[in-house]
Amino acid sequence: MNSIVKKYIMIFTSAFISGLCICFGASVFLICQTYSMALKVVGSFMFGIGLFTIIHAHLWLYTGKAGYILDNKPLYLLDLVVCFIGNAIGCFILAFVLKQTRIGDTLVESATPLVEAKMADSWYSILILAIMCGVMIYLAVEGHKKCEYPLGKVLFVFMPVSLFILCSFEHVVANVVYFTYASEFGLKVVLYFAIMFVGNAMGSVMFDGLLKLVEYLKKEDNKVESVEK
């Protein structure tokens, strides 16, 4: 089998599993938020188990990988497209299966008003919220990677996830789960998903770029200090 074909089969399979993980997290959040605000907060933290698993299993998640566009060649964009397709299919299949169970009605009832609010929103609001979500996921992934302490690694994953959930930021992969439960499909849905897809990447890349700029300026400042000494 061609090495390139193997590579994309690997990315797709890994992304598919990530989609399942995100669906588990999104589903428990939907169930928790039906009861009380306190449980909604708990659910927002439990959502993070999906990303935590993805990071530790070294799986492909679009929102987790998009922040590293600047570190890769242009072909990486194709990797991200394949990744998102795998994520979306994993989310859709598991959400569809769970919808057939006894908890299906609860999931549908919880997801429907959530989706209706998204569809009633303006495109620029969706874009801004998607950008903010991209920043949060980048913080979770990069923070976990760079933090040297076990507790810090855990907090860096769960806290940004909880924040983006409670602030209703737009996560393009998680939204596949919500829209599947709500049975909301159509041209406007495709358009909004395209906006979220771009917005999530923009947030991650912009924050990554800002951090790279800070590192560059620090190095330049150190060079100046060395010359002056």
Per the structure block, which two tokens stand in for 105? 């009605």
Distance CA 104, CA 127 (A): 30
CATH architecture of 3-228: Up-down Bundle (1.20)
> Which parts of the chain register pLDDT below 50?
none
Distance CA 83, CA 85 (A): 5
The pLDDT value given to residue 219: 85
The pLDDT value given to residue 212: 93
The pLDDT value given to residue 224: 65
Q: What angle do CA 183, 189, 195 make, to 5 degrees?
A: 140
The pLDDT value given to residue 135: 97
Which phi and psi angles does 103 have, rounded to 5°? Answer: -90, 0
Q: For 1-36, what is each residue's pLDDT tens digit?
A: 688 899 999 999 999 999 999 999 999 999 999 998
Do 169 and 87 touch, CB atoms closer than 8 A?
A: no
| pTM of the shown model | 0.93
The DSSP output letter for 67 is G
The pLDDT value given to residue 222: 74
**Domain-wise residue ranges, the chain:** 3-228
The pLDDT value given to residue 226: 66
- Answer left, alpha or beta for residue 185, where phi above 0 means left and psi between -120 and 50 means alpha: beta
Task: Report the candidate in 14, 34, 35, 65 with the shortest Cα–Cα distance to residue 172.
Answer: 65
Q: Is 159 helix (H, G, I), strand (E, B) or coil?
A: helix
Burial of 81 (0-12, 13-18, 19+ CB in 10 A): middle
The pLDDT value given to residue 225: 65
Cα 31 to its chain centre, rounded Å, is 20
Task: Report the candidate in 204, 145, 209, 215 with the shortest Cα–Cα distance to residue 169.
Answer: 204
Q: Is 100 helix (H, G, I), strand (E, B) or coil?
A: coil
